[in-house]
Amino acid sequence: MSVSRICPNCYRREGIRVNFGNNHSAEKEFHQQHWCDCGYSSPEEMMKDQDLGFSDAKWVLIIKDFLNTYYNIISTTVIPNKDEHLRLFLKLLKNKINWYDSSAELIPKKRNFNEFEYVRNGKPKKQPKLNIFDDNGLEDVPNQVTITKTNYNLDEVQLLIEYAKAWNNLNVSYLENILSDNFEYNSQWVFDTMYGKETYIDYLKGKFKRIKETNAFPQAEIGYYKNAYGVKNKPCIVIKQNDTKVSIIMKINNGKITNIDMVGFPDPNTAITFDYFPK
């Protein structure tokens, strides 16, 4: 197993890994060498110089670990809504604090208005001696994370637009993140309700495949009914294929589609459309 060194005063990780095999005394000596050029003689001195807002140096270890895992998760996983994001953030923070044999709790205290500092960026009041969060210490942190693309909570029209894209591109991948797990599909031409997100996606995949073979490409246009299902100005999609027109109406919950109804009544020809075919 190869090992790398972490400075006991600034917690920087050395950029090289060394393999000692079974030579434990050499490994022990390796860790005792003073390799870091930070110049700090204690973690307390480092914390003072860095102006991190905390005095306990353990926070640096905890937050470095937290940031690595956090950015790794949010740059590789789709977190579909802010509830889940909040839950992930809090649970991960607790997990990391506990991992370092510590706990954090909010203790009531008297208000001291001098403590309310302006917080928008992380600039220190005076320049620290060195950068303790260099590349080796935060290996999983990407240069930029775009949260809006992966963490959305869409409203009904935004969801309709995404759904229409699936039809206009004959590609079910647009649906992966917008259908709820307990999704239901109904068609006025079919008696049975179809249950489940995966079942529906498989069904549409087959349907799109057959459409591609026939070259009768559908066009999905955004619009609305003045009145449908007892709702005024109900958003819809009008799908036109050859000479037939059907409408798509949906129900949503928590930013996901829970129900899709494919309908011929109300008449799709009475829907008001915008000549907008999302691609």
What are φ and ψ of residue 122, in 5° steps?
-105, 25
Q: Would you count residue 204 as binding Zn ion (CB under 5 A)? A: no
Q: Would you count residue 36 as binding Zn ion (CB under 5 A)? A: yes
Q: Which helix (H) or strand (E) covers residue 164, if one does?
A: helix 156-169
The residue among 39 and 142 lying less far from Zn ion, judged by its C-beta, is 39
Mapping DSSP to helix (H, G, I), strand (E, B) and coil, where does residue 118 land? coil
The residue among 7 and 74 lying less far from Zn ion, judged by its C-beta, is 7
Amino acid at 186: N
Q: Would you count residue 132 as binding Zn ion (CB under 5 A)? A: no
Question: From CA 40, how far away is CA 47, in angstroms rounded?
Answer: 10
The residue among 9 and 151 lying less far from Zn ion, judged by its C-beta, is 9
Amino acid at 10: C
Question: From CA 99, how far away is CA 106, in angstroms rounded?
Answer: 18
Residue with tokens 């489940």: 196
In the complex, minimum distance from the CB of residue 165 to Zn ion, in angstroms, rounded to a whole number? 51
The residue among 36 and 228 lying less far from Zn ion, judged by its C-beta, is 36
In the complex, minimum distance from the CB of residue 39 to Zn ion, in angstroms, rounded to a whole number? 8
In the complex, minimum distance from the CB of residue 47 to Zn ion, in angstroms, rounded to a whole number? 12
Task: Choose, by CB under 5 A, the member of 5, 10, 60, 278 that binds Zn ion.
Answer: 10
Q: Would you count residue 38 as binding Zn ion (CB under 5 A)? A: yes
What are φ and ψ of residue 247, in 5° steps?
-115, 150
The residue among 57 and 238 lying less far from Zn ion, judged by its C-beta, is 57
Mapping DSSP to helix (H, G, I), strand (E, B) and coil, where does residue 105 land? coil
In the complex, minimum distance from the CB of residue 68 to Zn ion, in angstroms, rounded to a whole number? 19
The residue among 7 and 220 lying less far from Zn ion, judged by its C-beta, is 7
Stretch that binds Zn ion, among 4-12, 50-58, 60-68, 92-100 (CB under 5 A): 4-12
Please answer whether residues 37 and 52 qualify as being in contact, where contact means their C-beta atoms are separated by less than 8 angstroms.
no
Alpha-helix runs per DSSP H in 13-79: 24-32, 43-50, 58-76
Question: From CA 246, how far away is CA 200, in angstroms rounded?
Answer: 18
Stretch that binds Zn ion, among 28-36, 59-67, 82-90, 218-226 (CB under 5 A): 28-36
* Binding region for Zn ion (CB under 5 A): 7, 9-10, 36, 38
